[in-house]
Homo-oligomer: A and B are copies of this chain.
Amino acid sequence: MSPKIIEPGCTLGIVGGGQLGRMIALAAAECGLKVHVYGPDADSPAFDVAASITCSAYDDAEALARFAAGVDVVTYEFENIPRETADLLARHAPLHPSAAALATTQDRLSEKDFINRLGIPTAPFRAVDTPDDFGRALDAIGRPAVLKTRRFGYDGKGQRIIRTEADADRNAIFAEFGGAALILEGFVAFEREVSVVAARAADGSFAAFDLCENEHRDHILAVTRVPAPGIAPETAREAVGIAKTIADALDYVGVLAVEMFLVREADGTERLVVNEIAPRVHNSGHWTIEGAATSQFSQHVRAVCGWPLGDPSRTGGLRVEMQNLIGGEVAAWMALLAEPGAHLHLYGKGEARPGRKMGHVTRLIA
- Chain A interface residues toward B at CB < 8 A: 5, 8-9, 22, 25-26, 29-35, 47-51, 293, 302, 307-308, 310-311, 315-316, 318, 330, 333-334, 337-338, 340-341, 344-350, 359
Contacts and interface: CB of A to CB of B under 8 A. Distances in A.
Contact of A26 (B30, B293, B337, B340): B30
A348 B33 contact: yes
Say how many copies of this protein the assembly contains: 2
Given A26-B26, A31-B345, A48-B51, 15 more contacts: A8-B333, A8-B346, A8-B348, A25-B49, A29-B48, A30-B345, A30-B346, A31-B346, A32-B345, A32-B346, A32-B347, A49-B49, A302-B337, A307-B334, A308-B334
Given A310-B337, A311-B341, A334-B307, A48 B26 contact: no
A231 B51 CA distance: 44
Instruction: Choose among A30, A47, A334, A341 the residue with the greatest number of B CB atoms under 10 Å from its CB.
Output: A30
Contacts of A30: 26, 345-346
A366 to B, nearest CB: 9
A48 B22 contact: no
A286 to B, nearest CB: 12
Contacts of A341: 293, 311
6 closest Cβ contacts across the A-B interface?
A32-B346, A316-B316, A48-B51, A308-B338, A32-B348, A8-B346
Interface centre among A8, A346, A347 (most CB of B within 10 A): A8
